[in-house]
């Protein structure tokens, strides 16, 4: 009896303890850091089946080299084509001899042509949103040109491209020229108002640059915003951490650093028209004045004038960009509709049916207050 019990226990342990379907050793995982997705276009190469629609490029680091122990290439890049995203990834797995692992993916880069194709773009968005592996903190970036080019860039400094892009995106703390938009914001904004912006990435031979923004409307890309327009939009969305600005006063170009910006947006109805009101508050430091011009920077009234000049500049810029968004894109990128729904539900009920037509006719009012706080260490 005792022996039988022992036998049963040992047989059970063989069956129960050993099995593990999901075990993947760490050196058999490909930690994909960056994904690039392009529209498949090369129709001449298309074979009979004619099913290729996407080109997907993945990049993952050679974990051995990163840890300083292994040798060889610091990163691996693979490209494949196929009908949809998961097909391609499964196809890639057969080439890698590793299991692709997306939990540490830092960024997804979409080619410009793909982003302009509504059907493909919506498919890609759904893949990303539906995936349990991809978090909402990753960056969705649209490339000018092809995404593959970005992944093929060999940067001098940081070898893991995904981490590098993430570090570049961290620069949003310092400059507002990069659109501060992660996947969570993009998805939420697209659900809420069918419009959003994503950062834009441009590559050259051995470096790339993230600046400016792509405008999404009705689930496709409809245009670009320049770096300065992106900055203004960041002002409107209250996502500025700090910004640079030049003011000309008495022929002296004064460089200012704008910090501690907070923007309050109010949308309301006034005499039958919808008004979007931005109330910007900020502080400034003087970074550059002019050598041997004495006494000016430490004069309160002078500083106040500089502040007002800066405020005037910002005000004009915001107005221009707002007009541009209205006229060129008809896209409610500032989420005025959402604000209206939250704060003025009665007005929203009247306009929500044709908000797309009403938004381009809204008026904009801007109030800016910039206080110059510090003038550096010289008088």
Partner 1 sequence: MGRNNDRISSVQLAMILSVSIIGVGILSLPRSVAEAAGPDAWILVLMGTLMILIIALVISKIVTKFQQKTMIEFSEIIVGKPIGILITIGFSIYGIIFAAVEARLCAEVIKEYLLFNTPTEVIMVTLLLVSVYLVRSGIEPIARMAQIIFPIVTIIAILLIIPVLPEIDWTHFLPVLKTPILKLIKSLPVVILSFIGIELALVFSTFVIDTKNIKKNMYITVGLVAMVYFFIVSITIARFGIQETIHITWPTLELFKTVDIPGAFVENIEIFVIAIWILSVFMTLVSWYFSASLTISWVLKVKEQKYFVLPLIPIIYYLALLPDNLAQAMDYVDRFVNYFGIFYMIVLPIVLLGISAIRKGGRKGA
Which residues here bind partner 1, judged by CB under 8 A? 19-22, 103-104, 132, 135-137, 184, 187-188, 191-192, 341-343, 345
* CB 8 to partner 1: min, Å: 15
Q: Which is nearer to partner 1, 348 or 359 (CB)?
A: 348
Q: Which residues contact 101 (CB under 8 A, 6 or more apart)?
A: 24, 29, 30, 31, 32, 133
* CB 185 to partner 1: min, Å: 10
Q: Which is nearer to partner 1, 22 or 292 (CB)?
A: 22
Q: Which is nearer to partner 1, 167 or 299 (CB)?
A: 167
Q: Which is nearer to partner 1, 136 or 350 (CB)?
A: 136
Can you give the C-alpha Rg of the chain in angstroms?
A: 26
Torsion of CA 188, 191, 193, 194, to 10 degrees: 110
The b-or-e profile of 310-340 (16+ CB within 10 A means b, else e) is: bbebbbebbeebbebbbeebebbbbbbbbbb
Q: Which is nearer to partner 1, 104 or 305 (CB)?
A: 104
- Asked if 92 and 80 touch (Cβ cutoff 8 Å), the reply is yes
Q: Which is nearer to partner 1, 184 or 376 (CB)?
A: 184
In the structure encoding, which two tokens stand for residue 284, read together?
């400034």
* CB 12 to partner 1: min, Å: 11
Q: Which is nearer to partner 1, 119 or 136 (CB)?
A: 136
* CB 341 to partner 1: min, Å: 8
* CB 70 to partner 1: min, Å: 20
Query: What phi and psi values does residue 105 have, to the nearest 5 degrees?
Result: -65, 135
The residues facing 262 across adjacent strands are 281
* CB 19 to partner 1: min, Å: 8
Q: Which is nearer to partner 1, 277 or 371 (CB)?
A: 277
* CB 44 to partner 1: min, Å: 38
* CB 347 to partner 1: min, Å: 11
Q: Which of 181, 179, 263, 193 is nearest to 226 (CA)?
A: 179
């Amino acid at each position: 009896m005792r022996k039988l019990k022992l036998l049963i226990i040992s047989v059970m342990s063989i069956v129960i303890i050993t099995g593990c379907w999901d075990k993947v050793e760490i050196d058999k995982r490909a930690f994909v850091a960056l994904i690039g997705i392009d529209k498949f276009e090369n129709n001449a190469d298309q074979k009979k089946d004619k099913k290729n629609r996407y080109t997907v490029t993945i990049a993952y680091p050679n974990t051995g080299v990163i840890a300083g122990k292994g040798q060889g290439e610091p990163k691996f890049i693979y490209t494949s084509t196929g009908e949809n995203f998961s097909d391609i990834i499964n196809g890639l797995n057969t080439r890698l001899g590793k299991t692709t692992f997306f939990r540490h993916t830092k960024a997804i880069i979409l080619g410009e042509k793909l982003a302009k194709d509504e059907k493909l773009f919506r498919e890609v968005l759904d893949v990303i949103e539906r995936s349990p592996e991809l978090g909402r903190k990753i960056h969705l970036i649209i490339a000018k040109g092809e995404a593959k080019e970005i992944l093929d860039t060999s940067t001098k400094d940081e070898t893991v491209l995904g981490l590098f892009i993430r570090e570049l995106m961290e620069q949003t703390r310092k400059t507002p020229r990069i659109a501060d938009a992660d996947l969570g914001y993009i998805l939420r904004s697209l659900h809420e108002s069918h419009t959003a912006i994503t950062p834009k990435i441009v590559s050259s031979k051995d470096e790339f640059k993230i600046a400016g923004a792509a405008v999404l409307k009705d689930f496709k890309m409809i245009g670009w915003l320049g770096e300065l327009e992106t900055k203004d939009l960041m002002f409107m969305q209250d996502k500025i951490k700090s910004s640079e600005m030049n003011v000309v006063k008495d022929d002296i170009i004064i460089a200012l650093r704008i910090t501690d910006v907070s923007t309050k947006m109010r949308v309301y109805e006034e005499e039958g028209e919808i008004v979007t009101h931005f109330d910007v508050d900020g502080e400034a430091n003087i970074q550059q004045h002019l050598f041997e011009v004495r006494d000016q920077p430490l004069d309160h009234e002078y500083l106040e004038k500089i502040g007002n000049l800066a405020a005037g500049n910002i005000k004009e810029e915001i107005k221009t960009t707002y007009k541009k968004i209205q006229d060129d894109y008809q896209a409610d990128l500032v989420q005025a509709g959402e604000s209206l729904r939250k704060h003025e539900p009665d007005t929203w009920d009247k306009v929500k049916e044709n908000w797309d037509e009403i938004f381009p006719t809204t008026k904009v009012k801007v109030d800016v207050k910039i206080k110059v706080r510090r003038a550096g260490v010289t008088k």
